[in-house]
C-alpha cells in the first residue's frame, strides 16, 4: 500500500516538474522578449517602456524560486563531493536521508515565513507595483509556491531514500550518473 502511494506521489511530482519546466521556459522566453523590447524602445525609438524592467524582474523572481524545483530531482544543487564521495555506500545513504531531513526543515520554515509575508502584504500593506500596478502579493506568492513545492519534492525524495535504505538497496548506477553529471 505504501509503495503504491509513493509511486503515485512520485508520478504526481514528475508531472509538477514537467509543468514547472514548461512555465519556466515560457517565462524565460517572455522575459527575454520584454527586455529586448525595452532596449529597442529605449535606445532606438527614444520612447522607453516604463514597465519592462519591472516585468523582467518579476519574471526572474518566478524563474528563480519556482524554476529551481526540478533541480532538486536531478541533484543539481551543490554538495561537497570530496567528502561525500569518500563515504561508504551504506553511510552515504544515511547521510542523504539526513540531508533530505534538513532540506525538508529549511523549505518548510521558508514556506511558512513566505506565506506570512504574502498574508502581511495583503492584510496590512496592500501594496501595488509602481509600473505594472499589480498587487505585490501576486509577486510575493512565488515564494510560498516555490518553497511549498520544494518541500513536497524533498519529502518525496526522503521517503524514497528511506524505502531504499529499509530495503537495503544502494542507489542505482543511473541515479549516481545523474548526480555526478549535475555536479
pLDDT, tens digit, 9 for 90 and up, residues 76-113: 565 656 677 777 778 888 888 898 999 999 999 999 99
Put simply, whether the predicted model's pTM sits higher than 0.75 gets the answer yes
**What are the residues whose beta carbons fall under 8 Å from the beta carbon of 165, sequence distance 6 or more?**
93, 94, 97
- Asked whether the predicted pLDDT for residue 127 surpasses 50, the reply is yes
Distance separating alpha carbons of residues 134 and 137, to the nearest angstrom: 9
SS3 126: coil
Which residue is it, cell 523549505? 107
**What are the residues whose beta carbons fall under 8 Å from the beta carbon of 5, sequence distance 6 or more?**
none
Amino acid at each position: 500500500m505504501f509503495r503504491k502511494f509513493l509511486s503515485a506521489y512520485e508520478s504526481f511530482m514528475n508531472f509538477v516538474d514537467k509543468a514547472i519546466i514548461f512555465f519556466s521556459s515560457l517565462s524565460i522566453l517572455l522575459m527575454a522578449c520584454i527586455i529586448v523590447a525595452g532596449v529597442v524602445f529605449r535606445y532606438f525609438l527614444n520612447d522607453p517602456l516604463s514597465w519592462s524592467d519591472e516585468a523582467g524582474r518579476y519574471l526572474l523572481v518566478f524563474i528563480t524560486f519556482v524554476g529551481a524545483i526540478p533541480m532538486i530531482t536531478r541533484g543539481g544543487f551543490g554538495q561537497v563531493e570530496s567528502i561525500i564521495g569518500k563515504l561508504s555506500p551504506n553511510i552515504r545513504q544515511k547521510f542523504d536521508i539526513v540531508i533530505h531531513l534538513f532540506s525538508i526543515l529549511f523549505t518548510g520554515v521558508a514556506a511558512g515565513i513566505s506565506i506570512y509575508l504574502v498574508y502581511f502584504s495583503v492584510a496590512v500593506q496592500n501594496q501595488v507595483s509602481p509600473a505594472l500596478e499589480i498587487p505585490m502579493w501576486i509577486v510575493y506568492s512565488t515564494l510560498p509556491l516555490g518553497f511549498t513545492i520544494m518541500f513536497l519534492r524533498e519529502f518525496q525524495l526522503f521517503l524514497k531514500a528511506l524505502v531504499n535504505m529499509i530495503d537495503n538497496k544502494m542507489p542505482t548506477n543511473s541515479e549516481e550518473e545523474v548526480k555526478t553529471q549535475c555536479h
